[in-house]
Amino acid sequence: MPGLRRQAGSAENGYIPVFLSMNEAKLRVILRWTHIILGLVIMCYIYSPWTTKISFQIFIKFVVVPAIAITGVWIWKFPMFNRLFARKR
C-alpha cells in the first residue's frame, strides 16, 4: 500500500504509516506552513470581496478558524502533543 513502509527491527509490528515515523523537525515545518497558509486564507477573507458569499463565510468559520487554532496550539505546545500521541512501546 502507498504511504506504508516497514519499520526496521520489529517484525511483530508489521507495517506502520509513514506519518507516524515522521521526525519532529519535518512535522514542525508542516504545521508551520499549514498555519501560515491558513492565515493567508483569513487575510483573503478580510480583504477580498468574497466576504459577502455565505459559503466562504461558513468555510472560514467552521474549517479555517478551528484548523488555525489547532495548528497554533500544536506548534506552541509541541512536546505535550508528542507525549499525547506517542506510541506505546
Give the whole-angstrom CA distance, residue 68 versus residue 39: 7
The number of folded domains in the chain is: 1
7 in a domain, yes or no? no
Question: What residues in the chain have per-residue pLDDT under 70?
Answer: 1-21, 87-89
pTM over 0.85: no
Give the whole-angstrom CA distance, residue 30 versus residue 24: 10
14 in a domain, yes or no? no
Contact residues for 68 (Cβ-Cβ < 8 A; gap 6+): 35, 38, 39, 42
8 in a domain, yes or no? no
Residue with cell 500544536: 74
* Residue 21 DSSP symbol: G
12 in a domain, yes or no? no
What is the model's pLDDT at position 7? 47
Expressed as residue numbers, the domain containing 68 is 23-84
Side chain identity at residue 19, one-letter code: F
